[in-house]
Amino acid sequence: MTTAPAYRQPGTVLVDHRFAVPLDHARPDGEQIELYAREVVAASRAADRERLPWLLYLEGGPGFGARRFIGRQAWLGRALRDFRVLLLDQRGTGLSTPANRQTLPLRGGPREQADYLGHFRADSIVKDCELIRRRLTGGTPWTVLGQSFGGFCATHYLSTAPEGLAAVLITGGLPSLDAHADDVYRAAFPRIERKNAAYYARYPQDVERVRRVTEHLVTERTTLTSGYVLTPAAFQSLGILLGGGDGAHQLHYLLEDAFVRTATGPALSDAFQEGVHAALSYAAHPLYAVLHEAIYAQDARPTDWSADRVRAEFPRFSAEKALTGDGPVLFTGESVHPWHFETDPALRRLRETADLLAARTDWTPLYDPAALAANEVPVAAAVYHDDMYVDTTHSLATARAVRGLRTWVTDEYEHDGVRAGGERVLDRLLALVGGEL
């Protein structure tokens, strides 16, 4: 472990840590990779930081580094009242040893890359956390806050290493313990359709705007200035925005200036193209695409591009069919398809690697129902009613399966409640695990 000198932001003191961990925890003396984590302490408590308990934050994803806060933003201000916080860049993300189109060829061909990425799921992440915990705390358990996929990791943590946990807080991230990816997406598409209905009810003028953009993309191959190929299906995937609290508004404003008049007729505006690229590109988080369905794999059944297969069961999401009638073109949501690896320049080199992961049949279970049924760690989870990203029914079934888990089910927030709700969401969960509510 290496630790850099402390530095400051408004109201906080930060320390950068780097850790060497095994790529494969079954071979602790084998290849090592590096993990980065940022420690944050309230400036007013810096003098007694060594006496503060730890809170580990696990970001959503997969494939996202820990959020880069400035000062005491969002939930961090509440956490810093009681904890020193560790913001971990999970393996392959942020400042940890990177895994992307530029670095993965160093592993070899697609087969070697797929084998390497097989070590980047929740099981390896939790083993990383346990190594880090012992190095930082001397063995003292810590509190874990898991957002979305971070909650999946926290649930695995409860299954396999509860001795490392003082408490667990989960926001929008209680996974099904046994659902195959097909089950996840069959539950997802009806929720996504409901989000579309709510979006168009709020912004009925966007029905025609979306149809117009879709018609343009059907008739004209469109390559953005970034090199991203904007197909109708790719355009529909902007619906991923609808899972956030202000996502419908973001999507509406993006569509406002979709077209501009040119000397040769209407064209998609540069501003629109730039906004679309920012929303759709996987350049900053390629593992989200490459490993997305693998986070649901737990047995010999391959994921086999589950979202793409299941989407065919919901013909209302066909843009071409929508254009033959007078109904709205439906946006899709959090799903990854083979065509993403053709449209997105950041993913094209990784198509064969992704295919191999989709075909893999030796995945191991991520959750232990017996261990969870005997759980003794205080756990609280915010479950967002009709969460577009994580199925509420699946989450509540898991909540019932984890002994002592307390839920806060709310429709006040969408999937990003821990960010949008800031201190209030974390305060509620801390009160639940502390027995104050």
Q: Enumerate the active-site residues.
A: 148, 362, 415
CB atoms within 10 A of CB 265: 7
φ, ψ of residue 246 in degrees (nearest 5): -110, 15
What is the C-alpha to C-alpha distance for residues 298 and 363, in angstroms, rounded to an integer? 5
CA-wise closest residue to 353 among 283, 290, 281: 290
Q: Which residue has the tokens 């984890």?
A: 402
CA-wise closest residue to 412 among 377, 391, 387: 387
Cβ-contact 157, 165 below 8 angstroms? yes
* DSSP calls for 136-174: HHTT--EEEEEETHHHHHHHHHHHH-GGGEEEEEEES--
Cβ-contact 61, 288 below 8 angstroms? yes
| Helix then strand then coil, % of the chain, to nearest 5 | 45, 15, 40
What is the C-alpha to C-alpha distance for residues 33 and 20, in angstroms, rounded to an integer? 6
CA-wise closest residue to 292 among 237, 353, 244, 335: 335
What is each CA distance from 44 to 17, 30, 50, 82, 143, in whole angstroms? 21, 42, 13, 12, 21
- SS3 at position 370: helix
